[in-house]
Chains A and B, each alone.
Chain A
Amino acid sequence: MKAAGVKTGEPIWEALVKCSGGIYVKRDFRWYEVLSRLMRDLVHETSTRVEYYSIDEFFFQAEGRGERSFQDLAEMMRDRIWDRMGIPVTVGIARTRTLAKLISDAAKPHGALAVMGKEAEDAYRADKPVTEITGIAGRRAARLAPWGIASCLDLARADRRLVRKLLTASGETLWWELNGEPVQAIHSKRPAHKALSRGGSFGESTAEPVVLYAWLVRNLERLIEELRFHQVAAGRLTVVVRYKSGLTGAGVAAPAVPSDRFDVLLETARPCLRRAWMRGEPATHMHLIAENLASRGQCAPGLFDPPAQRVQAEAVARVKERINDRHGRFSLRSAATLYLPAIYRDVANAYDICDVRGKICF
């Protein structure tokens, strides 16, 4: 379908015009995770340092051995994944992460390319627009355009101080990387989260307050699962609601002390939803974001939180966890979510891409 010009995220009716024989498959993130982890293990066989960047992207430290060139390594890795898993992948090897990503994009589909050295890199940098670089999108590209910086090569040859002025320190990082200086590390373990969030599209827009509240509770239950997994408590909650009209509503609140308790966080999130809510406007998306994360063991108990209530809430949370571990996710859930029967009936909603843990990128 890619060969026919179908792009990622393109609606089916538009894709149909380009590729009438395409097959449409419903998402299955559990299966994608199995494949993703298998692929990561295969990459590990040839490199000791692998970063689980996203569900289908990995960065690895290319290690040349004996007679084997980097080009041989790239081809071997691509062929090994194809032979053992039947998945066509593209492998790019270069002096830095940013260059490797550019080169792997140039080698698509199912290519393997190692490009080392400034002159060879220039050929790939010259014809690629700056927006091909991860971290430079429309707004940043517009800031560069008046200075005649349109391609990756333009950016690499631009004055470093100018790039820093236009794109801040993160832009300067990209400038070094484009010039072959590796400044972005390969993280073999995911750094601790600064924020955790759960949410997404409703599928079907809704203006019903009870349905919106049901979504808030669903997203909160998912968020609490994640907080408990990482053993952190939320110091601040943000509820963002996006509407069909293009408008966005948001509400922010903080519990008295950082918490991962359902009752406390629901009481915090409820007024946030009230602030984000626009009467009569059909909403399409909701996001619940936990910030100011504090390590769970280091949170002081609230002054006005009766110890008996705290113990009881913790006991309920544990029972809920155990039942859901044994009988399946969301087997025991808040009755407020009963307004979303179709969502819980569809098993595809039981596991989302954000539930695949350990990757750096969403």
Chain B
Amino acid sequence: MCVGIALAWSELPTELIRRHNLERRVHERGGEREVRFLYRDRQPRLPIWRDGRLQIVRWGNGRVQSRLLPPTGWTWQATVEEGYWRNLDAVLVDIPASLGFERGVWFRIRQGIRGVLVPDEHGVAVVYMICEPSSHYYQIMTRSTRMPILIDERI
């Protein structure tokens, strides 16, 4: 499972950085600043594009804040296709990312990752990353059996 993403600092509006206190997530890599969104963070968050706006929302339900939503941060593509999320008023969203992180490996992402956005019983927006079985390349690279669904890209 992809447990983190990174986005270049320049990709995020200053207003969003301030509002969500993203400075604490800033890291430097090769002289470039990037914002890392990790699932293991005490407040797991992900950026999403919805209705033409970039927003920062809660990533999954790992701390079981909701009794309604599954206690994870990922969902299978097959589950989405079976209509499980339709009953929860979920919508498909794009998660912008320039890098993904899995089992210690940072890998390039051209555009982003597909996700589903769903409200919990308190009306809080929660995003789940959509996964599929790993391609052979991804499995060799990360030794993981599932990979995120990348937008217009296959690795």
Are A22 and B137 also in contact (CB < 8 A) when A345-B154, A346-B154, A347-B154 are?
no
The one of B30, B105, B136, B143 that contacts A24, using a Cβ cutoff of 8 Å: B105
Given A12-B141, A204-B136, A346-B137, A26:B99 Cβ within 8 A:
no
Question: Which of chain A's residues have a CB closer than 8 A to the CB of B29?
Answer: 21, 23
B106 at the interface (CB under 8 A from A): yes
* A residues in contact with B106, CB < 8 Å: 21-24
Q: Which chain A positions have C-beta within 8 A of B85?
A: none
Contact across chains for B136 and A12 when beta carbons are under 8 A apart? no
- Enumerate 23 A-B pairs (CB-CB under 8 Å) in ascending A order: A12-B140, A20-B104, A21-B29, A21-B106, A22-B106, A23-B29, A23-B99, A23-B106, A24-B106, A24-B107, A24-B108, A24-B141, A26-B107, A26-B108, A26-B155, A203-B137, A203-B140, A204-B136, A342-B135, A342-B136, A345-B154, A346-B154, A348-B137
8 A Cβ contacts from A1-28 to B: 12-13, 16, 20-26
Evaluate contact between A346 and B135: CB separation under 8 angstroms.
Answer: yes
Name which residue of chain B comes closest to A27, CB basis: B137
Q: Which A22-64 residues sit within 8 Å CB-CB of chain B? A: 22-26
Residues of A within 8 A of B141 (CB): 12, 24
Cα separation A26 to B147 with both chains bound (whole Å): 15
Q: Are A16 and B105 in contact (CB under 8 A)?
A: yes
User: Which residue of the partner chain A has the closest CB to B142?
Assistant: A12
Are B137 and A25 neighbours in the complex by a CB distance under 8 Å?
no
Q: Which residue of B lies closest to A26 (CB)?
A: B155
- The distance from the CB of A50 to the nearest CB of chain B, in whole angstroms, is 31
Question: Taking beta carbons and an 8 Å cutoff, which residues of B are in contact with A?
Answer: 29-30, 99, 104-108, 135-137, 140-141, 143, 154-155
Contact assessment for A203 and B136 in the assembled complex, using a CB-CB cutoff below 8 Å: yes
- Per-residue CB contact flags for chain A residues 253-271 toward chain B (1 = under 8 Å, else 0) read 0000000000000000000
Tell me the bound Cα distance from A346 to B141 in angstroms. Answer: 16
Query: Which of A23, A342, A347, A348 lies in contact with B107, CB distance below 8 A?
Result: A23
Bound together, the chains give a CA A90 to CA B29 distance in angstroms of 24
- Residues in chain B near residue A26, CB distance under 8 A: 107-108, 137, 155
A325-362, CB < 8 A from B = 342, 345-348
Residue of chain A at shortest CB distance from B27 = A21
Chain A contacts for B140, CB-based, 8 A: 12, 203
A12 touches B105 (CB 8 A): yes
Contact B108 A25 (CB under 8 A): yes
CB distance from B150 to the nearest CB of A (A): 11
Task: Collect the chain B residues with CB atoms within 8 Å of residue A21's CB.
Answer: 29-30, 106
Closest to B104 in A: A16
Cα of A352 to Cα of B26 in the assembled complex, Å: 37
Q: Closest CB of chain B to A135's CB: distance in Å?
A: 32
Interface hub of A23, A203, A204, A345 (most chain B Cβ within 10 A): A23
Q: How far is the CA of A325 from the CA of B106 in the complex (A)?
A: 36
Task: A23-B108, A204-B136 given; name 15 further pairs at CB < 8 Å.
Answer: A16-B104, A20-B104, A21-B29, A21-B106, A22-B106, A23-B29, A24-B141, A25-B108, A26-B108, A26-B137, A342-B135, A345-B154, A346-B137, A347-B154, A348-B154
Q: Measured between C-beta atoms, what is the minimum distance from B48 to chain A in Å?
A: 23
Instruction: State the CA gap A26–B138 with chains docked (Å).
Output: 9
- Nearest Cβ on chain A to B152's Cβ, whole angstroms: 10
Give Cα A26–Cα B107 distance, bound, in whole angstroms.
8
Quick one: which of A208-266 are within 8 Å of B by CB? none
Enumerate chain B residues within 8 angstroms of A347, measured Cβ to Cβ: 154
Using known A-B contacts A12-B141, A345-B154, A347-B154, determine if residue A25 contacts B136 with beta carbons closer than 8 Å. no
Bound CA span A23–B105, Å: 7
Closest A residue to B98 by CB, please name it: A23
Best-surrounded residue of B30, B105, B108, B140 (most CB of chain A within 10 A):
B105
Nearest A residue to B138 by beta-carbon distance?
A: A26
Q: Tell me the bound Cα distance from A13 to B104 in angstroms.
A: 9
Interface centre among A24, A345, A348 (most CB of B within 10 A): A24
The distance in angstroms between the C-alpha atoms of A347 and B110, with both chains bound, is 14
Which residues of B have CB within 8 Å of A25? 107-108
Within the complex, the shortest CB–CB distance from B4 to chain A, in Å, comes to 13
CB distance from A160 to the nearest CB of B (A): 48
Query: Which of chain A's residues has its CB closest to B106's CB?
Result: A23
A24–B138 Cα distance when bound, in Å, is 11
Inside 8 A of B105's CB, which chain A residues have their CB?
Answer: 12, 16, 24
- What separation, in Å, do the CA atoms of A21 and B34 have in the docked complex? 12
Cα–Cα distance between A23 and B137 once the two chains are bound (Å): 15
CB of A168 to closest CB in B, whole Å: 40
Residues of chain B within 8 A (CB-CB) of A12 are 105, 140-141
